[in-house]
């Protein structure tokens, strides 16, 4: 067949397409004792999303769409994928919502326990390593292809007050996204746009105002939803707005729906 886009495994079944999205890549790995073909999605094994984080003038904006899918089925359009861990950290989730939400609960509990037992805030490195350990413990589910979690973690350093962006792999290795980071099945388009804007636009990302950052985030999610069916768009009949939060050196803010609605209609739809 032309293009060579479909591969057949030794059992005669097609491999899932190589999209670059990690949960899809996991399905290409044969499980011992089982045919190396795509398994049917389990109940609750929903995934698919676009999450993003980037620096702007005042801090870091973190956003995510709200759709969760299982295979070609839309499971929900109201999943909150940007979670407040405390007043100084945000966790943006891609992959299995069930596993990610449990990790968020454990991480939040661990930070509260440390604060109450040690009477001080845990360091930024400590927060990063706790999340890394949770990802390592989730590895068996990730390898099965039903519980992979690939998060973004945005946190304020309690000493320097600098806000930093981290991205992870499923083994818990973490890396700092200096200017921006993205995740999820709709991330390839978003990553390319952010790289282009930060490298060649007249004003790098860190020079953007708060409103310019919100406009950009809405446009990026709209672009991702156009190319990626697992990323939720905004239905004009029943608008479901993405979750968008801003973490600065001093504050943690949730961008409210009226603000998102006004900016979306004026700057994304361009309805005057």
Query: What are the backbone angles phi and psi of residue 2, rounded to the nearest 5°?
Result: -65, 140
39 and 14 in contact (C-beta within 8 Å)? no
Set 5, 19, 49, 50: catalytic member: 49
Instruction: Reply yes or no on whether 49 is catalytic.
Output: yes
**Residues near 183 by beta carbon (within 8 Å), at least 6 away in sequence:** 49, 50, 51, 52, 92, 94, 150, 151, 152, 167
Closest by CA to 44, choosing from 106, 109, 107, 102, is 102
Place of tokens 């801003």: 246
Total length of the chain: 272
Q: Where are the alpha helices (DSSP H) in 71-176?
A: 97-118, 124-137, 139-143
Looking at 112-212, which runs of residues are DSSP E strands? 152-156, 163-168, 174-176, 180-183
Tell me the sheet residues that pair with 167: 152, 175
Q: Which two tokens stand for residue 93?
A: 């989730």
Q: Are 212 and 251 in contact (CB under 8 A)?
A: no
Residues classed as catalytic: 49
């Amino acid at each position: 067949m032309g293009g060579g886009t479909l591969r057949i495994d030794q059992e005669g079944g097609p491999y899932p397409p190589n999209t670059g999205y990690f949960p899809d890549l996991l399905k290409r790995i044969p499980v011992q004792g089982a045919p190396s073909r795509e398994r049917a999605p389990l109940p609750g094994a929903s995934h698919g999303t676009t999450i993003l984080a980037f620096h702007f003038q005042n801090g870091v904006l973190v956003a995510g769409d709200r759709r969760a899918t299982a295979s070609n089925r839309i499971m929900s359009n109201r999943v909150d994928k940007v979670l407040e861990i405390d007043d100084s950290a945000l966790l943006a989730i891609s992959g299995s919502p069930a596993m990610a939400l449990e990790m968020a609960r454990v991480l939040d509990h661990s930070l509260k326990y440390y604060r109450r037992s040690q009477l001080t805030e845990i360091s930024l490195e400590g927060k990063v390593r706790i999340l890394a350990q949770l990802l390592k413990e989730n590895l068996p589910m990730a390898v099965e292809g039903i519980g992979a979690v690939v998060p973004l973690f945005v946190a304020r350093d309690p000493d320097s007050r600098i806000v930093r962006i981290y991205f992870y792999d499923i083994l818990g290795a973490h890396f700092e996204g200096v200017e921006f980071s993205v995740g999820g099945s709709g991330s390839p388009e978003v990553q390319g746009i952010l790289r282009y804007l930060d490298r060649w636009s007249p004003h790098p990302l860190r020079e953007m105002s708060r409103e310019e950052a919100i406009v950009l985030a809405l446009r990026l999610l709209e672009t991702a939803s156009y190319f990626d069916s697992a990323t939720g768009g905004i239905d004009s009949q029943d608008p479901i707005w993405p979750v968008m939060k801003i973490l600065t050196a001093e504050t943690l803010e949730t961008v409210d729906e009226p603000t998102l609605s006004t900016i979306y209609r004026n700057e994304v739809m361009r309805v005057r």
